[in-house]
Structure 1
Amino acid sequence: MRKIILYTFLFGTFVFPTASVAQQQEPEQVALDTKEFEDHLYESFKQKGIENYDKAIQELEKCQNLEPNNPLVWFELAKNYYFQKKYVDSYNYFEKVTQADPKNRWAWQGLYDICYDTKDYNKAITIVAKLIEFKEDYKEDLLSLYMTTQQYDKALTLINELNERFGVTDKHELYKAQILKDVKYQGSEKENLIAQIKKNPKEESNYIQLIYLYSQSNQEEKALEVAKQLEKEIPTSDWAQVSLFKFHINNQDGEKATKAMHIALSSTKIDSKIKHRILNEYLLFAKDKPLFEKDLDKAITYFDNDKEVKVAKEIGKFYHSKKTWDKAAKYYKMHLNTVSDDYETINLLAECYKEAQEYEALAKFSEEQSQLFPSQPDMYYYLGYAYNKLKNFKKAKESLETGLDFIVDNTKLEAAFYNQLIECYSGLGDAKKKEYYTNKQLEAQKTQKK
């Protein structure tokens, strides 16, 4: 009796002995067959438990001889074949169970497991559709299968359905971002987002996604309309300021653009790439407008912890390319306040002092840096150059001749050193040394041309 209760608990849909057998046999024979069936079945469970699947299958085959149409035997055969990775046999037996009992969820699950293990994802989709009838959670499996088989239109429809019913998840958003890289799916998503906004005008995320899609497809006017609608419905939204910033910049409205920029850059919700784009656009707008320089300086502070892009340095390079030496120097110094050993920036700042003819500043700066980077010839060059311009030819000579020893395979820099040494010895009145370095310069120039 204990065994029968156990089987009924585990497999309530399976009943044995079968009615047909009971009708054809005498009661005594039925009792004998039932006991023999139970013994073999119990032994199969025991052998399966110790992972002796061959022996378990042998016991189940004996059960099958006694009761050929018992779904419990088919189910157990399917499980044991599955554990042996004999997927064809396992699939056939699970399928027999579903045909006999279409409401047996575990048999459908078995079929799904086999399809997944054998990477037959298209067949898995049809099986998961059946499993959804038992438990709606299987829709997540269906979504993963749609993504795997690149049925993105169905995946997008299902994502929107799941988001509406159960809320947005990070996984769904990643899937959606992957799908929407393909322009052909963006149209239907725009329509979906418009419908979602109408249904729930206080849900910020729908506006953000729609603004992004319009921006990606160069529909700036529509993006702006959505941003204005977002600002109206949710006045505290930081994202509304992103598109409004662009609108104000295009209209040359510096005051409103500046306000929108500060809100966007200070927001923790907005992606850093978008923030960089905003700053670059503001830089182009403000470069010839001293009125907004303080706001540009403040904007840089929002990126102090940005490890990927050194904003002050990049702005310095921007002004450097425009030969606006004073502004380039200002932002290089701002950068060096946080990254003092960035030699590229050090070199660029020295060049700014040189081009701006700030020789006192150049001498002071390059002397400090030559002590920090004693093997870098550039700083000795700038120091010698500055002393020459300040008519301190003795110090120029010391610096230039020291730095000359550190030049390796750089004939352009070598020629520049010789040029400064010629000027230096000319100032010192040493004609012999001047001639010597003139000849060295000519040799370096010839090598450089080759």
Structure 2
Amino acid sequence: MIKKWPFIFTFSVLLSNSVAVLAQTEPEEIKVEGDKFQDFFYESLFQKSIENYDKSLASLEQCLKLNPNEATVYFEFGKNYFALKDYKNAYDSYERAAQMDPNNKWFWVGMYDVCYATKDFNQAIIIVNKIIPFDPEYKEDLVSLYMATKQYDKALEGINELNEKTGKTDRREMYKMEILSEGKYQNAEITNLIDQINKNPKEESNYIALIFLYSKNNEEAKALEISQKLEKEIPESVWAQVSLFKNYLEKNDGPNAVKAMNIVLASSKIDSKIKHRIFNEFLLFANVNPQFTPDLDNAIGYFKTDTTVNVAKEIGKFYHNKKQWANAIKYYELSEKNDSEVDIEANLLWLQANTELKQFESVAKKAMTLIESFPAEPQFYYYAGMANNQLKQFKKAKEILEMGFDYVVENVNLEINFNIQLGEAFHGLGDATKAAFYFSKANQLIKEKK
């Protein structure tokens, strides 16, 4: 049986069993002359089956006395010793059987079992190369052995051979990713991928792998060339658009960039990380080329089912950081429409952006609504109080601020702001004493911060 390889590499690969279609039958029975030999031999098989390995070995000793040249007896010795974890005697027994009959695959497999159990992978490579002429499926094991012994050049050669003959597997692709993480093997893989593309121009995965390698090596011109070739050979390939999108942006070709972006965002084949990267790149482009803002807005729709990132809010934060308050507000409001739950952060950012634009009536109204939903969130009280102060609703501002002050905990900046706004409220109400008290308290907190 072909091995299950539990090696832990960079990608923590746990391999699965590959069951070979065996050309030979494992030797459990022999036909020999002599009832005594047969009796001892079958007795050894019986004792082995009930795990009486010592008795099984004793019966095999009797078999050797009667016929010392029977390879299958040594094979059975090997199996018993192996079960007892006496690996040296097991290997020696299997080896003796193989010397007597080198054309029996199972004798070599026994030696391989021992090498595998003892993690003697270099010796296992020698043995597996003896098995492969009998059973080519052991080439899978050979690749795993080359990985275990870090013979990556041979492993890569074996992977490419198997991929071409039997198709790709997840296991081999993980191995290949590990190998190619070391740059010195990438040229060989590039050559292989070009060869595979020439042999089979309709196999999309080879183009994708080659584009990835060129991009990783900052060979953008070559990556673009392969992307264009992929688009020509497989027009429906969405992966070609991933690479072409970047080229369109570099050429300031907005219409084609939009087209490529929409194809990628609509595809279920493309990972969400790639989609977010493309969207972010287009966001930067649209910021410089505002005529494409409507296309940006349309693209947000592709992320409605994405629970990992609120795209509209992130765009709002992008504009917020650039102090483009109107744009920020627009996307915070779009975020609110798309989100089934109230997002405290998005609302606080909305309140700040509107404050910067002196939209105090909107701030006061929104903050009071949010207080009803989040009565223990002090920042909403602050914005409501501040906005009412600006609207000269000083009594209302004072009441709101006093109510919210109780919820300020371990937030010095917010405490300073509350004191300032309370000072403003009392000043507006004509209470100079209390106004001075709160302004003084704010100043004291500011000094303590320094």
Residue 425 of structure 1 and its aligned partner are, at CA, apart by 1.5
8 Å contact 1:363–1:382 — kept in the other structure? yes
Q: Which residue of 1 aligns with 2:15?
A: none
Residue 226 of structure 1 and its aligned partner are, at CA, apart by 0.7
Q: Which residue of 1 aligns with 2:326?
A: 326
Structure 1 Cα separation of the partners of residues 442 and 178 of structure 2:
60
Give, as a single letter, the amino acid of the residue that structure 2 aligns with 1:156. L
Residue 443 of structure 1 and its aligned partner are, at CA, apart by 2.1
Q: Which residue of 2 aligns with 1:299?
A: 299
Q: Does 1:11 align with 2:4?
A: no
Structure 2 Cα separation of the partners of residues 89 and 433 of structure 1:
95
Q: Which residue of 2 aligns with 1:311?
A: 311
Residue 10 of structure 1 and its aligned partner are, at CA, apart by 6.5
Q: Which residue of 2 aligns with 1:191?
A: 191
Q: Does 1:46 align with 2:62?
A: no
Residue 52 of structure 1 and its aligned partner are, at CA, apart by 0.4
Structure 1 Cα separation of the partners of residues 324 and 186 of structure 2:
44
Q: Which residue of 1 aligns with 2:272?
A: 272
8 Å contact 1:411–1:447 — kept in the other structure? no
Give, as a single letter, the amino acid of the residue that structure 1 aligns with 2:113. D
Residue 12 of structure 1 and its aligned partner are, at CA, apart by 8.8
Deviates more, 1:247-256 or 1:436-445: 436-445
Structure 2 Cα separation of the partners of residues 323 and 47 of structure 1:
84
8 Å contact 1:227–1:244 — kept in the other structure? yes
| CA RMSD, 1 decimal | 1.7
Q: Alignment identity in percent?
A: 53
Structure 1 Cα separation of the partners of residues 415 and 151 of structure 2:
64
Deviates more, 1:389-398 or 1:84-93: 389-398
Give the direction of change, closer, same or farther, for the CA distance of 1:339–1:332 in structure 2 (3 Å limit): farther
Q: Which residue of 2 aligns with 1:426?
A: 427
Q: Which residue of 1 aligns with 2:256?
A: 256
Residue 332 of structure 1 and its aligned partner are, at CA, apart by 2.3
Q: Which residue of 2 aligns with 1:361?
A: 362
Equivalent residue of 2:190, what SS?
helix
Q: Which residue of 2 aligns with 1:388?
A: 389
Deviates more, 1:286-295 or 1:179-188: 286-295
Residue 311 of structure 1 and its aligned partner are, at CA, apart by 2.1
Residue 448 of structure 1 and its aligned partner are, at CA, apart by 2.1
Structure 1 Cα separation of the partners of residues 369 and 145 of structure 2:
63
Q: Does 1:230 align with 2:246?
A: no
Residue 14 of structure 1 and its aligned partner are, at CA, apart by 5.3
Q: What are the superposed Cα offsets for residues 192-211 of structure 1, whole Å, 9 maximum, x if unpaired?
A: 11111111112111111111
Residue 74 of structure 1 and its aligned partner are, at CA, apart by 0.7
Deviates more, 1:116-125 or 1:423-432: 423-432
Structure 1 Cα separation of the partners of residues 344 and 215 of structure 2:
38
Q: Number of paired residues? A: 425
Q: What are the superposed Cα offsets for residues 393-447 of structure 1, whole Å, 9 maximum, x if unpaired?
A: 1211111111111112222211111111122122222222212212222222222
Q: What are the superposed Cα offsets for residues 162-194 of structure 1, whole Å, 9 maximum, x if unpaired?
A: 111111222222221222111111111111111
Q: Which residue of 1 aligns with 2:97?
A: 97
8 Å contact 1:14–1:70 — kept in the other structure? no
8 Å contact 2:125–2:142 — kept in the other structure? yes
Give the direction of change, closer, same or farther, for the CA distance of 1:235–1:154 in structure 2 (3 Å limit): same
Give, as a single letter, the amino acid of the residue that structure 2 aligns with 1:58. A
Q: Which residue of 2 aligns with 1:348?
A: 349
Q: Which residue of 2 aligns with 1:416?
A: 417
Structure 2 Cα separation of the partners of residues 438 and 47 of structure 1:
95
Q: Which residue of 1 aligns with 2:247?
A: 247
Give, as a single letter, the amino acid of the residue that structure 2 aligns with 1:106. W
Structure 2 Cα separation of the partners of residues 272 and 38 of structure 1:
67
Residue 80 of structure 1 and its aligned partner are, at CA, apart by 0.7
Give, as a single letter, the amino acid of the residue that structure 2 aligns with 1:281. E
Give, as a single letter, the amino acid of the residue that structure 2 aligns with 1:438. F
Q: What are the superposed Cα offsets for residues 341-367 of structure 1, whole Å, 9 maximum, x if unpaired?
A: 332222222211111211122112211
Equivalent residue of 1:42, what SS?
helix
8 Å contact 1:16–1:70 — kept in the other structure? no
Structure 1 Cα separation of the partners of residues 341 and 358 of structure 2:
23
Structure 1 Cα separation of the partners of residues 160 and 26 of structure 2:
38
Give runs of aligned pairs for residues 30-109 of structure 1, distance below 5 A.
34-109=34-109
Structure 2 Cα separation of the partners of residues 13 and 43 of structure 1:
12
Q: Which residue of 2 aligns with 1:127?
A: 127
Q: Which residue of 2 aligns with 1:6?
A: none
Give the direction of change, closer, same or farther, for the CA distance of 1:307–1:155 in structure 2 (3 Å limit): farther
Residue 283 of structure 1 and its aligned partner are, at CA, apart by 0.6
Q: Which residue of 1 aligns with 2:9?
A: none
Residue 370 of structure 1 and its aligned partner are, at CA, apart by 1.6
Deviates more, 1:288-297 or 1:255-264: 288-297
Residue 15 of structure 1 and its aligned partner are, at CA, apart by 5.5
Structure whose alpha-carbon radius of gyration is higher: 1
Structure 2 Cα separation of the partners of residues 125 and 325 of structure 1:
66
Structure 1 Cα separation of the partners of residues 28 and 351 of structure 2:
85
Consecutive unaligned residues of structure 1, counting only runs of 5 or more, are 1-8, 18-33
Residue 57 of structure 1 and its aligned partner are, at CA, apart by 0.4
Q: What are the superposed Cα offsets for residues 47-100 of structure 1, whole Å, 9 maximum, x if unpaired?
A: 111110011101111111222222121111111111111110010000001111
Consecutive unaligned residues of structure 2, counting only runs of 5 or more, are 1-24
Structure 2 Cα separation of the partners of residues 127 and 360 of structure 1:
83
Structure 2 Cα separation of the partners of residues 10 and 384 of structure 1:
87
Higher relative contact order (CA 8 A, sep 6+): 2
Q: Which residue of 2 aligns with 1:437?
A: 438
8 Å contact 2:32–2:38 — kept in the other structure? no
Structure 1 Cα separation of the partners of residues 160 and 148 of structure 2:
18
Give the direction of change, closer, same or farther, for the CA distance of 1:296–1:281 in structure 2 (3 Å limit): same
